[in-house]
Structure 1
């Protein structure tokens, strides 16, 4: 039983011994072309043993031609080649390097080079097959390893934080900042959702004829002019507030008589000026908007005007305030805007040099009216329009100081267009006709040609030319005179010698037609300004201006020269 149990084990041992004797051990061969070690059994196309060799299979010797026949590393003719099925091929050669990062990848996606921001270092290529050998560490003259970089090589090379360099994994791409076209302009501050810009100009100078009288008398003066602008930053609706004012004060007072003649100017020629408006827009739908404006004007009669009374202590101040409420509707390229207006003008009582006062209630009036405008967008750069306005003026007193009933009704109609030609010439220009009829039959109709323009021409990146034109119908107190038809034309050129140094030249021409009285005045103003922008918040400004009033009435003309130097603080 024991012998019978051991027979299978002895058979297995015998078979193992026979297989071990029949197996030939062949040393591994090195393939220098591949760069790794491969066993001869893994070479499917190696030479087989030749039958004409001397010495038999796997025996070293020479053939009939005298060549060595040591084929110890060759596979026999009858031995099959090893199968490649299920095996993962290996390649000893490195992958091709230097491939372009443009074109398309294996998924047909466009390859784009990464955009580098200013100051960001170009990322190094990852280490892999085909990479150049690493640069050996720097050593000094003695052969020792240098652990630091010389100061001369690292000067002015401050590394950027990873968040700014864009090297943080998963960081969203940074947007490039818009180029600042005005590096010395006001930046402003945000208060909630409003961008607020504020400024104040403080100036001082000398005026050779502040009263604009025929006999000049000069005085020094100072000016304080604050500004405030607030603009909403909303996705829908809008609100804008623009408030600007000034006060001109004179150090001394003018005498009541100049060279023996009675002066028509007040003894105190100081005067304020303020103009402001708040505009709002309510977006009802994508094409329908409700609009509103509240406005305020505080000023005095212009020096040299015939409305100025004789013997005044100071100029009487008048205040004009009101609003416009309307609707704006778009019909594709057609736009229709209509609105109603309400305004009131109130004059302060006049203070006289003898200590008494004179009422100006006859100059107070209310104005009610409406305005409409239809425009069509031919192209985004050309938008012609037609505009018409009508109003009625009702005074507080039926008759003025000279016994005239100055209640009236009037309006205007004009056609024009707004345009934008390649950003070089932009603006709006129009022409029309204005007229006003008075209740008193002794006052003739006041009418005339109406011109309005606001053009900006960018001649060069450093030079800009502007043209302004306005026409208005103003009230007057002269007996027998219906009103004043005033037209003003202004041409201005701005040139930047440097970004921080700007020169401004301005010329203004105007006509004032007192219809019914026969008086006609012409005004000329030549002005030159130099602005030195020290920082965004501090400017220095110098002004030299010449004002001329030429009238067909003897003794009504005047001339004045103004020199002024000041600073502007803005934020």
Structure 2
């Protein structure tokens, strides 16, 4: 080994002695401190890198760059971002866990999941938006109100307003009060409802008031509606004859009742009602005297007091009634007046009702009523005794089918006997109903019928058996535009006489609801009275335009 190493060293020493060139140390240049690992030349100075000058044969004539400039880099043109730039969202080739973005109270969460082929919802890094100057002083929404608390159940949405243009009302203590006032004017071709028609313009003022209690137990409801109709023309007698219609046709009309319920227990309730009716005889009625200056006004004041008891599905109701009917004196065209005391009477009676919950939404019932009528005077102006007693019995059912068809319908028989033997028994079929059918969310149909036994002063006539039937259809073309069509049919049977009257009424209303508080209403109505008595038939056309202000 030693001989081999010596043989290699001796030639090297010989070459060093023979070489006469001087020795130089390595020069220190900036390439020795290049930041590029394992290289002494920067990439920008590399002779292998393509340059942008014209001397480069690889550059075509279409390339227009300044000499010495570098070629465009493709680092920023890569469509897929590198993993180091994915931040808290987007695709990460290293499969590192993403960080959940912290949301501010009230800020909606993104429903889009990041991944391949799915867009990423960019979340703001700062606040959502700057508050407006009006709301700058208001505190932020609590997370519980905003619904952002973890584990909090979703907030229940508010119910859509079924009547966005209906009256809202105001609270007075624990009572919700709604009021309205209708003002209208128009023209009536025959306001007196006589054979020889004479038209007249008219105006109507109709106030309304509804008050409902808002109590956990007990209840009180007050519903008051009135109107006054005034006519611009008068109807004096001509050719010295006595007119069948009053000279002035102005007349009031009022209907009001107050209902109360006292909850003694969950099954026992005390019921009470106070009612008032103020009106006049209908134009064209045979009860109207000839030669009147204006219509006499009558009032009917009464009440019902009773109790209601529930035994599981069985419900029993009973009550007593008392009513007072009084007429004002009749003023004649010659300045004198006549009394109407023979038409004043008191009525005392009682009513009982039994109902049973047979099926959900079906509740049949039976009802019986009896009463006595005592007049202030024993004999009327024609010498007849009008005191009487009578009543009715009826059966029916109230029902509710999925809120599409609701109401009550019944049928029975009514009888009334008079003290005077010259007056025959007044009797007839009794029909009463009130139905509401919601055909569509925009269309509603209503049907109602009533039967009553009315007093009269016609000689030899016991009374008037009255049946009224009406059908009404409401349709909303828009929430703010409603059309109403109504048809009414009535029969008036004067028992004891051969007179029989039929009435027909066809009406159409168009309501434009500008706001909740202001409506515009147009009405067109045709009234027809057909009688089997010569000269008693009539017809009229009514046109009216008005406004309704409500709260």
Calculate the TM-score normalised by the size of structure 1. Answer: 0.73
* Counterpart position of 1:538: 518
Cα distance, 1:148 vs structure 2: 11
1:136–1:393: structure 2 CA closer, same or farther, 3 Å change rule?
A: closer
Structure 1 stretches of at least 4 aligned residues deviating more than 3 Å after TM superposition? 93-99, 133-138, 147-151, 157-161, 163-176, 259-262
Instruction: Check whether the contact 1:213–1:263 (CA below 8 A) recurs between aligned residues.
Output: no
* Counterpart position of 2:141: 162
Cα distance, 1:464 vs structure 2: 0.9
Instruction: Check whether the contact 2:301–2:325 (CA below 8 A) recurs between aligned residues.
Output: yes
* Equivalent position to 1:237, from 180, 195, 218: 218
Residue by residue over 1:131-151, the C-alpha shift from the partner in whole angstroms, topping out at 9 and shown as x without a partner, is xx998999xxxxxxxx99999
- Are 1:388 and 2:368 counterparts? yes
1:385–1:160: structure 2 CA closer, same or farther, 3 Å change rule?
A: farther
- Are 1:122 and 2:108 counterparts? yes
Cα distance, 1:497 vs structure 2: 0.5
Instruction: Check whether the contact 2:110–2:121 (CA below 8 A) recurs between aligned residues.
Output: no
1:289–1:137: structure 2 CA closer, same or farther, 3 Å change rule?
A: closer
Cα distance, 1:263 vs structure 2: 2.6
Residue by residue over 1:472-504, the C-alpha shift from the partner in whole angstroms, topping out at 9 and shown as x without a partner, is 000000000000000000011111110100000
* Counterpart position of 2:478: 498
1:504–1:137: structure 2 CA closer, same or farther, 3 Å change rule?
A: closer
Matches within 5 A, 1:293-372: 293-372=273-352
* Counterpart position of 2:75: none
Cα distance, 1:165 vs structure 2: 3.2
Residue by residue over 1:367-417, the C-alpha shift from the partner in whole angstroms, topping out at 9 and shown as x without a partner, is 000001000011231000000100000000000000000000000000000
Q: Matched residues in 2 for 1:325 and 1:477: separation? A: 31
Cα distance, 1:274 vs structure 2: 0.3
- Are 1:248 and 2:234 counterparts? no
Residue by residue over 1:444-487, the C-alpha shift from the partner in whole angstroms, topping out at 9 and shown as x without a partner, is 00000000111111111111111010000000000000000000
Instruction: Check whether the contact 1:162–1:168 (CA below 8 A) recurs between aligned residues.
Output: no
Q: Matched residues in 1 for 2:128 and 2:461: separation? A: 89
* Counterpart position of 1:518: 498
Q: Matched residues in 2 for 1:539 and 1:377: separation? A: 41
Q: Matched residues in 1 for 2:343 and 2:206: separation? A: 28
Cα distance, 1:424 vs structure 2: 1.3
* Counterpart position of 1:478: 458
Instruction: Check whether the contact 2:106–2:141 (CA below 8 A) recurs between aligned residues.
Output: no
Q: Matched residues in 1 for 2:353 and 2:318: separation? A: 6
Q: How many residue pairs align between the two structures?
A: 442
Q: Matched residues in 2 for 1:456 and 1:412: separation? A: 25
Q: Matched residues in 2 for 1:136 and 1:237: separation? A: 55
* Counterpart position of 2:209: 228
* Counterpart position of 1:556: 536
* Equivalent position to 2:166, from 185, 188, 195: 185
Q: Matched residues in 2 for 1:566 and 1:249: separation? A: 14
Is the partner of 1:362 in helix, strand or coil?
A: helix
Q: Matched residues in 1 for 2:544 and 2:364: separation? A: 42
Instruction: Check whether the contact 1:297–1:319 (CA below 8 A) recurs between aligned residues.
Output: yes
Is the partner of 2:383 in helix, strand or coil?
A: coil
Residue by residue over 1:414-444, the C-alpha shift from the partner in whole angstroms, topping out at 9 and shown as x without a partner, is 0000111122111110000001000000000
- Are 1:212 and 2:198 counterparts? no
Q: Matched residues in 1 for 2:457 and 2:519: separation? A: 42
Cα distance, 1:247 vs structure 2: 0.2
Aligned Cα root-mean-square deviation (Å): 3.2
1:176–1:553: structure 2 CA closer, same or farther, 3 Å change rule?
A: same
Q: Matched residues in 2 for 1:134 and 1:316: separation? A: 80
Q: Matched residues in 2 for 1:488 and 1:233: separation? A: 35
Structure 1 gap segments, 5+ residues each? 1-92, 100-118, 126-132, 139-146
Residue by residue over 1:175-217, the C-alpha shift from the partner in whole angstroms, topping out at 9 and shown as x without a partner, is 5422211100111111110011100100000000010011000
1:162–1:262: structure 2 CA closer, same or farther, 3 Å change rule?
A: same
* Counterpart position of 1:412: 392
1:383–1:137: structure 2 CA closer, same or farther, 3 Å change rule?
A: closer
Instruction: Check whether the contact 1:120–1:160 (CA below 8 A) recurs between aligned residues.
Output: no
Q: Matched residues in 2 for 1:450 and 1:261: separation? A: 41
Instruction: Check whether the contact 2:188–2:540 (CA below 8 A) recurs between aligned residues.
Output: yes
Is the partner of 2:476 in helix, strand or coil?
A: strand
Calculate the TM-score normalised by the size of structure 2. Answer: 0.75
Residue by residue over 1:222-278, the C-alpha shift from the partner in whole angstroms, topping out at 9 and shown as x without a partner, is 000000000000001000000000000011211223x88643110100000000000
Structure 2 gap segments, 5+ residues each? 1-93, 112-119
* Counterpart position of 2:64: none
Is the partner of 2:433 in helix, strand or coil?
A: strand
* Counterpart position of 1:47: none
